[in-house]
A and B are shown apart, each in its own frame.
Chain A
Amino acid sequence: MKPLFDPAPFAQHAEDIEFEPLARARKPHSHRLRMRLAAGAFLIAFAALGWRMSAIALDHDGPKEAVRSAGVEQTTHRAPLVDRNGRLLASTLQTWEVYVHPRESLGAGGVSPDSLDALGKVFPRLDLIELRRHLSEGKRKFVWVARKASPDQWRRARDLGIIGLYASQREDRVYPAGRFVSHIVGGVDVDNIGVAGVESGLSDLITAPDRKMEPVRLSVDLRVQTALRNTLSAAKSEFAAPGAAGLVMNVRTGEMLAMVSLPDFDPNERPAAPATFLQQARSPIFNKVTQGAFELGSIFKLLTTAMALESGVANLETPLNATAPIRRGGFTISDYLGKGRWMSLREMVKYSSNIAAVRVAELIGPDRQQAFFEKFGISGKVPLRGFPNGELSRAQLPQQWGTAESATVSYGHGISVSPLHLATALASLANDGCRVTPTLLKVDENAPSALCDRIVSSETSATIRGLMRLVANESSGRNANIPGYEIGGKTGTAYQVKPTGGYNTDKRFNSFAALWPTSDPQYLMFISLDDPKLLDGSRRLPLAGHTAAPTAGSALERIAPLLGMVPTDRFRKADKADEKNEGEG
């Protein structure tokens, strides 16, 4: 019988195993050596440990750094906003919401009249009678004492020792410049989230954790903004206009130095959004500069001229038939104070002839005109950097771009755009024909200038600037011609569109675009007045040349010196005086 397993292999192994005698018995020297080695190793290890520990104990930087990295949480989360010169436009403050639990107070024996009076002294606006009633009744669990208390106020209130009085800390966004920057900053909601303006458009930048509360520098110049707002506000009263809008832009960098829409609001107490669309346009929170869509009238003739020059269908001397009103698409197109004769393209701009503009549009053709509008950035939205997309209007173009539409569009009717659209297109025309992208963020002066995204040639740019100078010097823009600043301009008077369709011939929308200095353009100003009236007793019609142009002139007179621009003829006059004196001497 075979066993369950074969022991043979095990036996074989057993024979191989040789029992080693005890090491001690065999090699006493080796033992001593090992002990010494082990002791030495331990000694070295202990020495290293001790050295390291003493290093930690003596070196103060080590532990300190470790604690710092643990960090203390930051209490404010929205970085301040400053203007281009560093003036504060928005900041975040710590405030306290103070409230009382009447039942808790009652349970502890109520609040003494003295403490209540003292509380009234801390919060002057507190209704003490109401609070006393709540405290004695104890019906409500919770009553507000103050929604916005300063840290000092809360400290004083807490020191009164009123039982049941509590406070919770919150952040509050404040705008020291108030309504002077209303539409630019926009505002935040109760949760400190930007809802409009740059507070919404630059939200990522303002709340970026790596910003460490470093202020966000806007392109806005508070002085220019103030001057423009005050001038517009005065013009709004002078011409009894329900609304006004204006902007100042650097045509080289696209920086917006000022942007005003009247009526405005105090961003510290931002009004609620209007319910209906019709109310929206009348609401103070509506930004006419970016959200509006208006027919801006004859300023478009500059664009029409640029198109004609670029496409080569006409030059400044091309004769155009403006002898009599013409009918296009069921409309009669006529001129205000028309010359009733043939005129050149130059005169078309100078005298702002609608009929001649239509003749130019017919030379250009609807397709080419439409393509030019797209090129000039008047087809979609203007990519204003720093502003939320929801506050930028889309240009309302003719639905079908036929010859009739092409005719009216040539002098700025049948096309609704925001003042920002037209200002940006004009800035690009002025900027040597290179596209300008408007921004509300300050542009680094040392940054290399971007490559030219050309929309018209250098020559066309120079010609347009020359025509603007002509209008400001000799024609409808004379009222804006401040001596010494080489101002160029163009007026735009348009009938307002009725909500029911068609035009309201009693209501106008007057605009003026000013560029200066025209030989080396630096700034562009755009001003619009909604339904202005001439209340000076004259029977003149409220045309842009009588309303928007003088408004632009007085704004310019204040803004140009603020920007450090010295009038050229100021010194020319002085030089002449010097020569005279020398002659007399």
Chain B
Amino acid sequence: MIGSFLRLITVLAAFAVVLSAAMLYRVKTETREMKAEIRAMEREADKVRQRIDALETEWAYLNSPGYLIDLVRTHADVLNLKERVPDNFARLVEIPPRGALEVGGQQ
């Protein structure tokens, strides 16, 4: 009786060893794959980050004071932009209601 019990345990243990080895192998492979995937993703993220940096810098260039001043000067006839002066401030009651100006313009 003891012999059969021992045999059962031995068989179970052997089975567990094989099972755990298989599992461990699977986990290891998965981990390696995942690692590669993460590295690729991080490289990709880094590239995207670099692109964002480049685009942000380009945007800042396009909005740099020097460039904007040149644009405003070159296209003054179309844009007709003026610098903000102290007289530009108005109270809400002084602003004509929406649409009032267009109507006035048509007449």
Chain A interface (Cβ < 8 Å from any Cβ of B): 32, 35, 39, 42-43, 46, 49-50, 53-54, 56-57, 63-64, 67-68, 72, 75-76, 80, 87-88, 91-94, 150-151, 174, 176-180, 222, 226-227, 230, 482-485, 557-558, 560-562, 566-567, 570-571, 574
Contacts and interface: CB of A to CB of B under 8 A. Distances in A.
Nearest to B24: A53
B1 to A, nearest CB: 10
A557 B50 contact: no
Given A558-B85, A574-B91, 5 more contacts: A76-B53, A87-B63, A88-B60, A151-B47, A483-B86
A33 to B, nearest CB: 11
B85 A561 contact: yes
The 7 A-B pairs at the shortest CB distance, nearest first, are namely A176-B60, A88-B60, A226-B65, A72-B42, A567-B86, A63-B31, A561-B84
Nearest to A571: B91
B20 A53 contact: yes
Chain B interface residue bracket vs A:
35 or more
B65 A93 contact: no
A212 to B, nearest CB: 11
A151 B50 contact: yes
A46 B16 CA distance: 7
B89 A570 contact: yes
A48 to B, nearest CB: 11
Contact of B9 (A42, A72, A560): A42
Contact of A75 (B46, B64, B69): B46
B34 A64 contact: yes
Contacts of B86: 482-485, 557, 560-561, 567, 570
Interface string B21-34: 00110110011001
A39 B89 CA distance: 90
A72 B85 contact: no
Contacts, number: 117
Contacts of A68: 38
Contacts of A54: 23
B40 to A, nearest CB: 10
A174 B53 CA distance: 11
Contact of B60 (A39, A43, A50, A87): A87
A88 B57 contact: yes
A42 B17 CA distance: 12
B54 interface: yes
Interface in B55-93: 56-57, 59-61, 63-66, 69, 83-89, 91
